[in-house]
Amino acid sequence: MTMIHIEQFLLKPYRFPLARPFVVGGQALSIREGLIVEIVGRDGNRGLGEAAPLPGVSTEELKKAAHQLKCLEREWVGRTLPVSCEALCARLQKDLDRSVLAPSVIFALESALVSLAAGMQGVSVAEFLGDGPPKVVRSACLIQGDLEVVRAYGAKYSADGFSIFKLKVGNRNIPLDVLKVRALKEMIGFDDRIRLDANAAWSLEEAVAFACAIGKEQIDFIEEPCSGQNDHEKFFRRTDMPWAVEAHSSVRPLSDWEGIQGLKAVVIKPMLSGGINGFLSVKDIAYRLGAQVVVSSLFETSVGFRMLANCAALTDTCCGLGTADWFGSPAAGIMQKGGLIPPVNLIA
């Protein structure tokens, strides 16, 4: 039986400027730093993964992720692993201590080994993890900024063929966010949809006021509208506007959301949610809840971005990989006009 024999475990740091700043946690992010993990098998096959904690969002710093990966390098060189999907995922679930290792480290190592195994079988990661040939992946675009930025990028992305637009809201100046939504509605087609992300910035009353002011027409859902997660269902009852929750930020197990009203989607960021195994587990739970699964990015390079696109190919929902536009040609080159990622671009 073919096995993975780890011969080399290489760490390659990177530091890239973003095409334009992005505000995270109240601070403007203009530089992205991280580590590329390259695992080389005895036969010369290679797999790539990425560890890139996002300042202000990730629980770990890059320094901690780098230290843990260097320790794993010493531990994992020389190991032998199964190459089949089920056996490899089970082995990684068993061998990686998720109570100790940072989420970005798990994402990097699992990505590298899964992509290595997929390459040994001559298939994409989506084919390796799934039960059929991959399909075209469709992504929403991402808009953040003042009113003029919303107008400009709404027009740009609409002309580029996007049909789903994600807009960052959650401003203390709620009337300004209302104006942004109205402006975006004017820029896009009548059949296009808007996803809103409030980042749990508002109280229940503030979120309800915002929703009533914009109306639910063309709104796909609003991500984490209220600061209190137990208020999301109350928000839906008062507004009839569907909402979404981020898997990594849920303060209660996702399985506890069963039967709750208004939950339309679970947003999964594998860099934050426990890697490939974490993604597969959350996906299954979300489907049991009757919710859509939205794979979302965290300003990854083309290495992490391609892995996320493969994960998104295992879902039936437009994903959220709009951060590619901030990263320039390598990541953005995987995505074609209108946010489409063809199956051929799922393989490096």
Decide if 232 contacts 262 (C-beta within 8 A): yes
Cα dihedral sign, 203-209-212-215:
negative
Q: Which helix (H) or strand (E) holds 244?
A: strand 243-246
Q: If you compute the radius of gyration of the chain from its CA atoms, what whole number of angstroms results?
A: 20
Decide if 311 contacts 107 (C-beta within 8 A): no
Decide if 248 contacts 103 (C-beta within 8 A): yes
Selected catalytic residue, list 180, 264, 269, 283? 269
Q: How far apart are CA 194 and CA 219, in angstroms?
A: 5
Selected catalytic residue, list 166, 168, 180, 264? 168
Q: Determine whether 168 is an active site residue.
A: yes
Phi-psi region of 299 (alpha: psi -120 to 50; beta: other; left: phi over 0): left
Strand partners, 28: 23
Q: Which helix (H) or strand (E) holds 238?
A: helix 232-239
CA distances from 119 to 4, 104, 329 (A): 11, 22, 24
List the catalytic residues.
Answer: 168, 269
